[in-house]
Structure 1
Amino acid sequence: MIDLVDQPVGPNGRLPLGGQVTSNLLSGPGSCPLGADRPAPDPATDWEAFPLMARRLAQASTMLVVFGVLVGCSTSDEQREYNVPAVLCNVPVDPDLVSPFLPPGKTVSVRKKTPVPSRTRCQMDVDGKWALIASQEWWTEGSSISEVADAHPELESAQPTDGNALLHSGTGAVARVGSCANADLPEHVLYTAIQVYASEREDASAMKKLITAYTNEVERSSACR
C-alpha cells in the first residue's frame, strides 16, 4: 500500500510540485520497506538468493558446455564413414598412424602416380579432395635433406633430426632410406616424403611416427632390391 503524506492539493486534484510520497510496500512480515538500507545477497555464497529462473539458466548453461565438450570429442569419428587404408600403394602402414591426418568424409581413394622415373607418389583423396601424399624420391648423391624438404610446401617449418636423416613438421616429413640402391639410377639416394593437405590435421609427434614406419617399410620393399 502506498500512502501519500498530507500535502495541499492543487485545484486540478494533483499534488503540487515538490509533494512527497512515502512507501509502506512490504514484501512480508518483518521485511524492510522498499528502498531501505539492507545488504545485498552475495551471489558467490548465497545460492538461494538467486531467483529461480536465474538458477535454471545457470544449470542449463553448464549442461550445454558439457554436451559441447562431449560432441567435440566424438565429431571426427562420427563423421568418418570410410575405413583408413592399411596400404599406401604397396607399402603396408598401420592405419592408426595414418588416421590422425585424414579428415572426416564418406569415401577414400588411393592412387599411384609416377610423374618422372625417379619419383613415385601415392595420393590419398577423401571425398575427391587431396588429403595426404606419400612419395618415394631418388635424389642425386650429395643432396641434403633440407634440399629435399624445400621441394615440399608442407615442410616449410620443419627442422632436421636424427643426424639429418629425418626432417618433419606437423604437416609433413622427409626421411632418408638407409640401405637402398637402384641399378637404373646409379649415384642416387632414396628419400621418402609425406605431405598432409587436409586442414586442421597438424601433429608433429604423430608425423614422426608415420614417416619412420613408412620409411622402414619402403626399405624392406622391392624399391630397395
Structure 2
Amino acid sequence: MSIDTDLVDSFMPPGKRIQQTENEAGLIVWTCEVSVDGKDVFRISHDNWEPGWSTRRFAVRHAYVKPVHEAADKSYVYSENGAVATVRCTDQGGDRDLFLVAKANENTAGAKGMEKFIVAYRDEFLKSDPCTDL
C-alpha cells in the first residue's frame, strides 16, 4: 500500500537501518513490524474477527490499545501510541470483520498524528477490496 511517508516519519526515531518484517497467519492475521537499528518501533496489523465487536471493545481486549479518542461514527479509536479502525465486511455480506491496528513505541506526532495515520491507512486498505476474501 502507498502511504505518505510524512505520516510514518513521526513514528521513527533517528537511526541508520530500517527493517520491515511481514508475517501472515493464513487469512486471520497479518502483521508488519518496523524496526530501526534493531529496535522495534512500529507495528501494523489486520485481524479477521467475528462480527458484533465494536472498535473500542476490540482495541481494549485484543489490540491492547487504549481508546482515548473515538471517531464520531465509531469506526476508529486512537491514542498517543495506538489506533484501531474497523472494516465492516459483514455489511458487505461477509461473515467476518477486519480490524486494522497501528501501534508505535515512539510518536512525535501525538494522538493527532496517530489519527491521521489510521485514517489514511484504512482508506488505502479499502482500495484493495479486502472483504472479497472473507
Superposition TM-score, scaled by structure 1 size: 0.52
2:72 aligned partner: 162
2-structure distance, mates of 1:106, 1:153: 29
1:140 aligned partner: 50
**Contact preservation (8 Å) 1:178, 1:219:** no
Note the C-alpha offset of 1:112: 0.7
Alignment partner for residue 187 of structure 1, among 70, 75, 95?
95
Say whether 1:175 aligns with 2:82: no
2:128 aligned partner: 221
1-structure distance, mates of 2:119, 2:127: 13
Note the C-alpha offset of 1:222: 5.3
**Contact preservation (8 Å) 1:168, 1:204:** yes
Note the C-alpha offset of 1:125: 0.8
Distance 1:190 1:181, change over 3 A: farther
Distance 1:130 1:154, change over 3 A: farther
2-structure distance, mates of 1:142, 1:180: 9
Alignment partner for residue 118 of structure 1, among 1, 12, 28?
28
Note the C-alpha offset of 1:154: 5.7
Q: Larger Rg: 1 or 2?
A: 1
Superposition TM-score, scaled by structure 2 size: 0.84
More strand by share: 2
Give runs of aligned pairs for residues 41-190 of structure 1, distance below 5 A: 91-115=1-25, 117-151=27-61, 155-177=65-87, 186-190=94-98
Distance 1:179 1:140, change over 3 A: closer
Note the C-alpha offset of 1:137: 1.2
**Contact preservation (8 Å) 2:83, 2:102:** yes
Structure 1 stretches lacking a partner, 5+ long? 1-90
Distance 1:197 1:154, change over 3 A: farther
Query: What is the DSSP-based 3-state SS (H/G/I as helix, E as strand, rest coil) of the residue aligned with 1:120?
Result: strand
Alignment partner for residue 116 of structure 2, among 205, 209, 221?
209
Structure 2 stretches lacking a partner, 5+ long? none
Query: What is the DSSP-based 3-state SS (H/G/I as helix, E as strand, rest coil) of the residue aligned with 2:10?
Result: helix
Note the C-alpha offset of 1:196: 0.5
Q: Which runs of 4+ in 1 moved over 6 A?
A: 180-183
Identity of aligned residues (%): 27
Note the C-alpha offset of 1:178: 5.2
2-structure distance, mates of 1:169, 1:101: 13
1-structure distance, mates of 2:39, 2:128: 28
Amino acid at match of 1:162: A
Query: What is the DSSP-based 3-state SS (H/G/I as helix, E as strand, rest coil) of the residue aligned with 2:122?
Result: helix
- Higher relative contact order (Cα pairs below 8 Å, separated by 6+ residues): 2
**Contact preservation (8 Å) 1:181, 1:188:** no
**RMSD over aligned Cα, in angstroms?**
2.5
